[in-house]
Amino acid sequence: MLEDVIRLGLVDEDEIVLDEAALSLARLDHPDVDEGPYHRLLEAVAVRLETIGEGAATAHERAAALSSVLADAFGFAGDQATYDDPANADLIRVIDRRRGLPVSLSILYVSAARRLGWAANVLDVPGHVLVLVGDASAPVIVDPFRGGALVEPEDLGALLMAASPGPSPAVRHVAAMPNRAVLVRLLLNQAIRAERSGKGRRALELYTRMTMMAPDHGPAWWERARLEGIDGDVAAARNSLTSLLEVTRDPELRARVAETLTALVAP
């Protein structure tokens, strides 16, 4: 199973199938679970979407079909009652419970759309994740956490304003997330919650998976090194910081890493 994660770090970005990759990550925590039913569920979603979305040509029509299938027919929705439950970022548990975080639900929407050849991307909005359906000429934004509801321009503007309250400049830019960045976001949700609940070694395990799957993602190497240091594994922390130096060109970060390496000596 770990080999699947390593493979994710080696394949081209465009070769990553988001929901299949997210299942591979989740399976690391459920080694005895039969993946068959979960793959069949994803196939069933695609078949239903092909039927419901037959003839859907515009982004609005395709967005409506996605909502009809994933939210109405299969019951996927945001977990507002227990938002911080780690199960919400574990695709196996998301499928079991039909509840999840914005990023895990967005993975299901985008993957289903792409199986039909529809243009769809996970959209990084400060403090939230949405789905962009359609190409750049006439796209539609939907919110899988709210049952695939359409996000109108004024709604998006409100989200951006809420992300930058006070005197700081307003956030005005949102961007489609590359596939690996989406998976990192999924694991990051779990890692942050693990550390908040005092499970440092669980968080370290998740950051380690991030560095395997996205070896060029510098922040994961930094967090991995930090937790390895807390765990007393100085050699591992130094190795992680050295790996970070290999992937970042940021002069300030490189100076910070070099300083930390100098200070990080075996007891």
pLDDT tens column, 209-226? 999 999 999 999 999 999
pLDDT of residue 129: 95
Whole-angstrom CA distances from 258 to 44, 217, 237, 246, 263 are 51, 18, 12, 12, 9
0.95 cut: is pTM over it?
no
* HSE, side-chain direction, 13 A CA sphere, residue 197: 13
Distance CA 161, CA 142 (A): 18
Express each pLDDT in 19-44 by its tens digit. 999 999 999 999 999 999 999 999 99
pLDDT range class, residue 83, cuts 50, 70, 90: very high
Q: Helices 251-263 & 218-230, crossing angle to 10 degrees?
A: 20
Say if residue 185's pLDDT is above 80: yes
Distance CA 118, CA 33 (A): 31
Helix (H) or strand (E) holding 186: helix 179-196
Q: What is the mean pLDDT of residues 193-218?
A: 97
Q: Which domains does the chain have, with CATH numbers?
A: 2-176 (3.10.620), 179-263 (1.25.40.10)
Average pLDDT, the chain: 92
Distance CA 247, CA 121 (A): 26
pLDDT of residue 105: 98
pLDDT of residue 173: 57
pLDDT of residue 171: 44
Say if residue 55's pLDDT is above 50: yes
Express each pLDDT in 90-117 by its tens digit. 999 999 999 999 999 999 999 999 999 9
Count of CB atoms within 10 A of residue 161's CB?
Answer: 12
Say if residue 245's pLDDT is above 80: yes
Closest Cα to residue 213, out of 1, 29, 10, 26? 10
Distance CA 20, CA 206 (A): 18
Closest Cα to residue 185, out of 94, 103, 106, 73? 103
First to last CA, the chain: 35
C-alpha torsion sign, points 104, 107, 109, 111: negative
Say if residue 168's pLDDT is above 80: no
For residue 126, give every residue at least 6 positions away whose Cβ sits within 8 Å of its Cβ, in sequence order, or none. Answer: 159, 160, 163, 164, 171, 174
